[in-house]
């Protein structure tokens, strides 16, 4: 059985958030009075493994672990190890802020986790602190170096924000020239009730591309079946790395969306922009129900997977496209 929706999109990619806790407070992601999910409502690792087994039986072949910050959850590396042991063929990736990653690089390498996304919105110490609330830029840069030395492929994701990091464009491109990384800008999305998103802060992909051409000769890289992700990638003449643009706001990629999300409290979301969710935790914890019931929910929910762009268009002004903030969804 394969997960297919009414529009013919087949789902092969699961993003699983292991925690809504984070050691940073990125201004575009968390709000001041965000309330953490109480511990008993967070899925145990065994429950997450059960969900991964079910997803794998439905031909989900790519799994991304995210958060909050996944590496701050106790026992996370054991969880990664269990996934690798029971799902050798799963394309396993992790999204992290890179602040506590360095110590885990040798173990990740040993386990064969060869691709990580690291979020980094600035190369400036003060700006880093003002975005995240913490003085951890050096820790992230050390983690990136450790990954590159270990041969782990790195994608760096920077949320593009006018008035915050747009003046660093030349430095970002220089960084991508000097390092073998995919440096990708993600358009700032208006997520959550108290989003800080405004028209003025929005730095769209077209504008970034035009401005980038002042700093480098860029050539678009053709998308292949393997690289059918949301980023439009560019090679940089004379550079070791590549530049990428992810444009969920200005030019949606809903038509080819192949993903489902499960939050750390066990809610299945079929679209990043929709708050409609399906409660899996109650099924997992009900002794009278079994994997069969979860499978059914996954299949039925997938059928109704919406087109996020339609949801985005219904919002007005600077309001959030959905009520849930990103740290509770996982990006
Ligand atoms: N803590 C990890 C990290 O920062 O990579 C994983 C979770 S974080 C929610 C996942 C991704 O969502 C990060 O790359 C982050 O930059 C991105 N993100 C969070 N809020 C966003 C927003 N409003 N617009 C665009 N991207 C956002
Ligand atoms: Fe934490 Fe990641 Fe959100 Fe920043 S983007 S607050 S690191 S979850």
pLDDT truncated to tens, each residue of the chain (331 aa)? 899 999 999 999 999 999 999 999 999 999 878 889 999 999 999 999 999 999 999 999 999 999 999 999 999 999 999 999 999 999 999 999 999 999 999 999 999 999 999 999 999 999 999 999 999 999 999 999 999 999 999 999 999 999 999 999 999 999 999 999 999 999 999 999 889 999 999 999 999 999 999 999 999 999 876 666 889 999 999 999 999 999 999 987 899 999 999 999 999 999 999 999 999 999 999 999 999 999 999 999 999 999 998 889 888 888 899 999 999 999 9
Ligand 2 pocket, residue 324 CB under 6 Å = no
Name the residue among 228, 330, 324, 331 with its Cα closest to residue 35: 324
Two tokens, residue 242 = 């590549």
Ligand 1 pocket, residue 28 CB under 6 Å = yes
The ligand 1 atom at the shortest distance from the C-alpha of residue 67 is: 7
The number of domains in the chain is 1
Whether residue 4 is contained in a domain is answered as no
Give the list of residues 6+ apart from residue 264 with CB closer than 8 angstroms, or none: 17, 18, 19, 20, 37, 42, 43, 67, 68, 328, 330
Whether residue 261 is contained in a domain is answered as yes
Ligand 1 pocket, residue 330 CB under 6 Å = yes
The ligand 2 atom at the shortest distance from the C-alpha of residue 68 is: 8
Asked if residue 294 lies in contact with residue 284, where contact means CB atoms within 8 angstroms, the answer is: yes
Q: How far, in Å, is the centroid of ligand 1 from the Cα of 61?
A: 23
d(CA 183, CA 181): 6
Determine which residue's CA is closest to atom 22 belonging to ligand 1. Answer: 189
Whether residue 7 is contained in a domain is answered as no
Whether residue 5 is contained in a domain is answered as no
Q: How far, in Å, is the centroid of ligand 1 from the Cα of 291?
A: 31
The per-residue pLDDT for 227 is 65
Whether residue 155 is contained in a domain is answered as yes
Give the list of residues 6+ apart from residue 257 with CB closer than 8 angstroms, or none: 9, 271, 305, 308
Q: How far, in Å, is the centroid of ligand 1 from the Cα of 293?
A: 31
The ligand 2 atom at the shortest distance from the C-alpha of residue 67 is: 8
Q: How far, in Å, is the centroid of ligand 2 from the Cα of 67?
A: 8
Whether residue 2 is contained in a domain is answered as no
Q: How far, in Å, is the centroid of ligand 2 from the Cα of 87?
A: 27
Ligand 2 pocket, residue 24 CB under 6 Å = yes
The per-residue pLDDT for 225 is 64
Question: Taking the complete model, does pTM exceed 0.95, yes or no?
Answer: yes
The per-residue pLDDT for 140 is 98
Ligand 1 pocket, residue 119 CB under 6 Å = yes
Whether residue 227 is contained in a domain is answered as yes
Quick check: helix, strand or coil at residue 95?
A: strand
The per-residue pLDDT for 31 is 83
Give me the domain span that covers residue 55: 13-329
Instruction: Residue 162: give its domain's CATH number.
Output: 3.20.20.70
Two tokens, residue 224 = 């292949």
Residue with tokens 């600035």: 122
Q: E strands of the chain, at which residues? A: 3-4, 10-11, 13-17, 62-66, 91-96, 115-119, 153-160, 182-187, 218-220, 231-236, 242-246, 259-262, 267-269, 277-279
Whether residue 6 is contained in a domain is answered as no
Ligand 2 pocket, residue 17 CB under 6 Å = no
Two tokens, residue 126 = 């003060």
Ligand at minimal distance from the CA of 157 is: 1
Helices within the chain (DSSP H only):
45-57, 76-86, 105-111, 125-132, 137-150, 169-178, 205-212, 281-284, 291-303, 308-314
């Amino acid at each position: 059985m394969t997960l297919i929706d009414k529009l013919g999109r087949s789902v092969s990619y699961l993003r699983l958030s292991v925690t809504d806790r984070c050691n940073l407070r990125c201004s575009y992601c968390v709000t001041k009075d965000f309330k953490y999910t109480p511990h008993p409502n967070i899925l145990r690792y065994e429950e997450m493994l059960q969900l991964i087994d079910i997803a794998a039986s439905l031909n989900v072949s790519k799994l991304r672990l995210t958060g909050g910050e996944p590496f701050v959850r106790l026992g996370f590396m054991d969880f990664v190890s269990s996934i690798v042991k029971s799902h050798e063929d799963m394309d396993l990736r992790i999204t992290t802020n890179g602040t506590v990653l360095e110590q885990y690089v040798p173990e990740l390498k040993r386990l064969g986790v060869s691709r990580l996304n690291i979020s980094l919105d600035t190369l400036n110490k003060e700006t880093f602190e003002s975005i995240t609330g913490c003085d951890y830029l050096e820790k992230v840069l050390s983690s990136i170096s450790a990954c590159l030395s270990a041969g782990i492929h790195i994608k760096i994701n920077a949320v593009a924000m006018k008035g915050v990091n747009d003046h660093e464009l030349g430095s970002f491109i220089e960084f991508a020239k000097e390092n073998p990384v995919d440096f990708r800008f993600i358009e700032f999305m208006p997520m959550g009730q108290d989003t800080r998103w405004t028209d003025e802060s929005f730095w769209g992909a077209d504008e970034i591309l035009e401005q980038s051409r002042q700093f480098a000769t860029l050539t678009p890289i053709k998308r292949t079946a393997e690289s059918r992700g949301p980023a439009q990638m560019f090679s940089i003449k004379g550079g070791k790395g590549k530049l990428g643009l992810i444009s969920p706001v200005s030019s949606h990629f809903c038509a080819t969306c192949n993903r489902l999300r499960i939050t750390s409290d066990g809610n299945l979301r079929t679209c990043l922009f929709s708050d409609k969710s399906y409660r899996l935790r109650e099924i997992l914890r009900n002794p009278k129900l079994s994997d069969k019931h979860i499978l059914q929910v996954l299949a039925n929910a997938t059928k109704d997977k919406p087109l996020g762009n339609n949801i985005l268009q219904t919002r007005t002004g600077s309001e959030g496209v959905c009520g849930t903030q990103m740290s509770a969804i996982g990006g």
